[in-house]
């Protein structure tokens, strides 16, 4: 089972980042957290996404990538903006709700990664 640990690296590392930010919500912690998330995204998430498309045809790869890019990435950013705008008056509530939502999404991501990893292997 080679794919499973690779698929779990990014979401599990993000859980640690979100938990650390929830415990110590300072501006410096958020800056360091964003640097870590961007670095992990570049080093782990992007190559793993390409790895998952290897057994598919070029047509399926193109369609799947466009769906993931348009609905996944941009949809998540849009939902995040709505939550941030709705809770901007109470920073503590925004941090708590944002961390809980992030941990929920990451838990779902891990379940999907487990399923995809088993299917891939």
Residue 99 buriedness (CB in 10 A; 0-12 / 13-18 / 19+) = middle
Question: Cα–Cα distances in Å, from 109 out to 16, 17, 22, 41, 58?
Answer: 14, 15, 19, 14, 25
- Whether pLDDT at 105 is above 70: yes
Question: Is the per-residue pLDDT at 106 higher than 90?
Answer: yes
Q: Which two tokens stand for residue 35?
A: 């640097």
CA distances to 33, 39, 47, 110, 113 from 4, in Å = 25, 21, 14, 10, 7
pLDDT in tens, 43-87: 888 888 777 777 778 888 888 888 877 787 788 888 889 989 999
């Amino acid at each position: 089972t080679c794919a499973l640990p690779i698929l779990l690296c990014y979401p599990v590392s993000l859980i640690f980042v979100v938990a650390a930010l929830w415990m110590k919500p300072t501006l410096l912690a958020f800056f360091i957290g964003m640097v870590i998330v961007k670095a992990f995204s570049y080093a782990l998430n992007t190559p793993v996404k390409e790895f998952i498309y290897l057994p598919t045809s070029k047509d399926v790869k193109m369609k799947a990538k466009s769906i993931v890019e348009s609905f996944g990435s941009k949809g998540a950013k849009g939902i995040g903006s709505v939550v941030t705008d709705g809770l901007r008056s109470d920073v503590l509530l925004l941090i708590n709700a944002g961390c809980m939502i992030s941990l929920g999404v990451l838990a779902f991501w891990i379940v999907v990664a487990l399923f995809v990893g088993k299917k891939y292997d």
